[in-house]
Amino acid sequence: MKNKLFKENSKKIIETCDLLCKNTFIFNHKWDMEVCKIPYTFSEEIIWNKIPFEDPEWTFMLNRHKFWVYLAKAYALTSEEKYFDTFISQVNSWIDTVDVFKDEYFNCSRTIEIGIRCLNWIKAIKIFKNSSCNLNFIENKMIESLLYQCELLIKTYDDFRTLSNWGVMQNCGLISLALNYQEQHSILSQYLTIALERLEYQCKIQILPDGVHWEQSPMYHNEVLNCLLDIAFDFEKLNLDTPSFILSSIRKLAYSNAYMKKPNHNQPMQGDSDETDLRDIITRSAYILKDQNLKYFGYNFVDFESIWDIGDSNISKYEELPTKKPNFTSIALKESGNFYLRDSFEDNSNYLWFRCGALGSGHGHGEHLHFDLVSNGEDFISDPGRFTYVEGNKDREFLKSCFAHNTTIVDNLPFSKFNGAWGIVESALTLNTHHSFNTTFDFVEGGHLGYVSLESPVVTNRKILYLKNDLWIIIDEFLTEGAHEYSQIFNFYPDKKPTVDGLKAFIKGENSNLFMYWIDKNLNLNLKNSIFSTEYNKINSNFQLVSSIKSNKSKTLFTIISSKELSIQEASILRGDGSFVPSYEAQAIEITLTPNNKIIVFNSMIDINNQKKSYLIDNILLYGKTGFIKKYNDTISFEIIKY
């Protein structure tokens, strides 16, 4: 695997740099925040403020100059002078052309770009110097330019940058410049003090106690982590002690990566995120922290992406670090409202991510009560991604909306409202209420108040019970006194096509299949064409399954999902004295796994306020709101999950 990865990545870098030598640009690094693999060529001089494809993000990417690090790597891999010559030519072009204090170069001069430029320019310089290139003149010119640009970073700092990922990148760039060049430029010692103070406060308020970056988008969570790792490597290479707040911030962000990582090692496409493999960034974090637990979630070797930071001489330090397997599977990141339900951390494991927390920033999506589902290591139900940030783009607006997420909808109305590519008009307040994890089952529950302003208010709630024999029960509750239409949305991975037959859906996979069941006879299932984006600027078609049903009172919807074909029927639920229980109060379903193996799941939506507070299900007397009964051969047992 190691040799394959190195060969593939080396080939990718050289091919990209061959294009750069012709002034043809693509942005294809795995951690590029806005990937664009459509080549764009400048036939003569590079116009650094050009906006191709009507997307200013392209211009921002052009002016971050990560491709100069590519040129340095290509030279290190091949010793071909054309990569060094292209680097010199493009550096001179940019410095001689762009003035960050002029309005015409605004799209080249945002503080986020200046901060990232500092990091990338210094990385490129180091790699070229390690390859014995003579950089004396161009290095001085680059550092003088960065000093000039960094006047903006010192002067431009406000509440937005204090809370935004922008500010982290801004200050990490300043810190890297100061650490590497303060001996030659005394002003940088002052800059270092300012930037470290700012960064420490940013880490304190931006990174939640559970380790998730508050903006609720793994793509930007990991850009923050990448920047912190960059300066941690600077401290290490200069034989300086890394500030403890940087190490603790890396630890928190890296561990939440480990917890969110899907069986295929990718981050979930939460908010504005692409489908990106997390192992390299976890590997670098494990190296910096010397953390055996983290190493389990990364590579067991120094990968191609990481070796440029870790260095050949330190490979053994990482590879000799023991690997410690976690003693848990599922985990609740309560402050951010992210819950991960698993049976193991193996590649062929089951994984469900449930989302019930604050929206975050403009990178957040209308994903309250959303879930992703991976069965036996295979993606089935998923967040459909982001695609673009272009203002006025209908696909952007749809993918950001509630209607693009695996959640519930009332009266075909959004529970959170957005305006354009970035605007948040209103975000539903979430109710992050309950979870219980153990070796045989996991349970999580959350709700929101996005529909309480309706003329007839509705409180929506979702409970997910994962029985660790490839069985998931989704219990959707709608609490109201009025008449409404309720819908559930399920977005499928592009290679999955559901087949709907009555109240059953079958989804064929490569290594596993998925079966979905409902019990309400009046429920309608509608299979629709939709869109799905695993990467910025890339869009695919997929299928979206929407259930809908009308009800005059509170309503519970059971959805049963399994990798095996089952038999499902409604089970009767009575009070302890045998009297009738209305369906708007409580319901139960019986799931037949095999003729001698059955499970009855029950759910109540209210606190019983009459004298008969018990329920009678299959002649078993119970007290509680949510739970299940297991009947295996002649053995009967039950579990009350919530009282």
pTM above 0.75, yes or no: yes
Helix locations, 207-303, DSSP H: 218-237, 244-260, 279-289, 292-297
CA distance 637 to 620: 10
pLDDT digits (tens, 9 = 90+) for 119-135: 999 999 999 999 999 99
DSSP assignment, residue 217? -
What Å distances lie between residue 146 and 149, 153, 185, 445, CA to CA? 5, 10, 12, 50
Q: Span 574-581, mean pLDDT?
A: 89
How does pLDDT run across 292-320, given as a tens digit for each residue?
Answer: 999 999 999 999 999 999 999 999 999 99
Token pair, residue 608, equals 């019983």
Rounded CA gap, 625 and 19, in Å? 63
Do 342 and 259 touch, CB atoms closer than 8 A? no
% of residues, the chain, pLDDT over 90: 96
* pLDDT value at residue 3: 85
pLDDT 10s digits, 260-298: 999 999 999 999 999 999 999 999 999 999 999 999 999
Averaged over 39-58, what is the pLDDT?
Answer: 97
Average pLDDT of every residue of the chain: 97
pLDDT score at 610: 63
pLDDT band at residue 611, thresholds of 50, 70 and 90?
A: low
Spatial distance between the Cα atoms of 100 and 632, rounded to a whole number of angstroms: 72
State the SS3 of 604-642.
ECCCCCCCCCCEEECCEEECCCEEEEEEECCEEEEEEEE
6, 91, 270, 282 from 305: Cα distances, Å: 9, 24, 23, 11
Q: What is the pLDDT of residues 70-97, one digit of tens each?
A: 999 999 999 999 999 999 999 999 999 9
pLDDT at residue number 95: 98
* The token pair that represents 440 in the structure block: 């045989």
Nearest Cα to Cα of residue 274 among 208, 221, 206: 221
Phi, psi angle pair for 317, to nearest 5°: -60, -40
What domains sit in the chain, N to C, each tagged with a CATH number? Answer: 1-152 (1.50.10.100), 157-327 (1.50.10.100), 331-563 (2.70.98.70), 566-643 (no CATH)
The pLDDT of residue 333 is above 80? yes
- pLDDT tens track for 581-610: 999 899 999 999 999 999 999 999 988 766
Split at pLDDT 50, 70, 90, the class of 412 is very high
Closest Cα to residue 590, out of 490, 507, 471, 487?
471
What three-state secondary structure class fits 318?
helix
pLDDT (average), residues 376-383: 98
User: 353 phi and psi, to 5 degrees?
Assistant: -105, 125
Q: How far apart are CA 553 and CA 346, in angstroms?
A: 43
